[in-house]
Amino acid sequence: MVLSSVEFRVTVLNLFQINSPGHLSPAVGDLPYLEILQFHHITNLTGTIQPTIAKLTNLRMLRLSLTNLTGPIPEFLSQLKKLTLLELDYNQLTGTIPASLSQLPNLNAIYLDRNKLTGQIPESFGKFKGQIPDIYLSHNSLTGQVPRSLGDLNFSTLDFSRNKLEGDVSFLFGKDKTIQTIDLSRNALEFDLSKVELPESLTSLDLNHNRIFGSLPQGLKDLQLQFFNVSYNRLCGQIPQGGTLQTFDMYSYLHNKCLCFSSRPLVLHYWAFVSPLLGL
């Protein structure tokens, strides 16, 4: 807990790794000057996100992560207009994602990953009012198609991995965009990758375990990729030569329809890994 020099106002409340069981108290709303509220790695913290948090209009950082909080993500969070960080990951939150979160004008990042959220990604997430935040929604049970409105914004990071999303997301890419990290792995997405123009700023691309078809774009060889994985899709054709693509091991490419290096087919099936282990 941190006290400011003006009338001993509480501006920061941090609680980490406390083993005692308890609930998030409504009394937290009685700290009107609070700017940072963090309850992290308190696995015995249960209950719901208290409505009194809506009174904390000076809050810049709300971090309730790695707890056992349950219930929905409250609509009232959209009243906290000074929020720059909303981190509600690693909880047991359920229900849908409130569309009103896009009304927060100063968000740098929103972490809703590793919960039990359902429904669709809100259309409004392509219409953030001010700052365009990094969005982390992985490890939930989100369904449906990614709203096309998200293609109108220039995100830096999108992580929608390990959900049940489907359809075409090629609109998230674009040569003129400045996105750096895209993780869409382990969904049911289906589009022609060969028709995608990749941003030059892209450093991490994970598309594994989808239904993506076509061939790898030649533009991949011009990127400074630090991470790359297109395994377990329906891709075919030659892997572009040059750049960083050859620095990634076979696990980045395996289990596609007919990917190959140059003219050599990439035979990457189960038996190819098992036979050396058996001395065959």
Among the ranges given (97-101, 114-118, 125-129, 208-212), the one the predictor scored with the smallest mean pLDDT:
125-129
Give the DSSP per-residue string, 261-272.
Answer: ETTEE---SHHH
Q: Which residues constitute the domain of residue 32?
A: 11-277
Is the residue at 3 inside a domain? Answer: no
Across the range 157-169, mean pLDDT stands at: 99
Of 273 and 99, the one with more pLDDT:
99
Q: Could you report the per-residue pLDDT of 266-275, keeping only the tens digit for each? A: 544 443 444 4
Match 């369904």 to its residue by tokens: 143
Is the residue at 2 inside a domain? Answer: no
Give per-residue burial for 8-38: e unless 16+ CB within 10 Å, then b: eeebbbeeeeeeeeeebeeebeebebbbbbb
The runs of H, that is alpha helices, within 154-279 are 270-277
Is the residue at 1 inside a domain? Answer: no
Would you state the structure tokens that stand for residue 227, as one six-digit string?
A: 């991470």
Q: Tell me how far apart the alpha carbons of residues 198 and 189 are, in angstroms, rounded to a whole number.
A: 17
Per the prediction, the chain carries an average pLDDT of 92
Question: Does residue 228 surpass a pLDDT of 90?
Answer: yes
Among the ranges given (2-11, 77-86, 194-203), the one the predictor scored with the smallest mean pLDDT:
2-11
* Percent of the chain surpassing pLDDT 90: 84
Among the ranges given (44-58, 151-165, 195-209, 250-264), the one the predictor scored with the smallest mean pLDDT:
250-264
- Contact 83/110 with Cβ under 8 angstroms? no
Question: Does residue 7 surpass a pLDDT of 80?
Answer: no
Across the range 197-211, mean pLDDT stands at: 98
CATH number of the domain within which 244 lies: 3.80.10.10
Is the residue at 215 inside a domain? Answer: yes
Residue 267: partners with Cβ closer than 8 Å, 6 or more residues away: none
- The angle formed by the CA atoms of residues 50, 123 and 83, to the nearest 5 degrees, is 40
* 3-state SS class at 26: helix
- Split into its structural domains, the chain has a count of 1
Is the residue at 147 inside a domain? Answer: yes
Split at pLDDT 50, 70, 90, the class of 263 is: low
> What pLDDT sits at residue 34?
98
- Phi then psi for residue 23, to 5 deg, are -115, 160
> What pLDDT sits at residue 129?
85
Is the residue at 6 inside a domain? Answer: no
Across the range 112-125, mean pLDDT stands at: 99
pTM: 0.91
Question: Does residue 280 surpass a pLDDT of 70?
Answer: no
> What pLDDT sits at residue 13?
96
Is the residue at 4 inside a domain? Answer: no
Give per-residue burial for 171-192: e unless 16+ CB within 10 Å, then b: bbbeeebebbbbbbbbbebebe
Is the residue at 125 inside a domain? Answer: yes
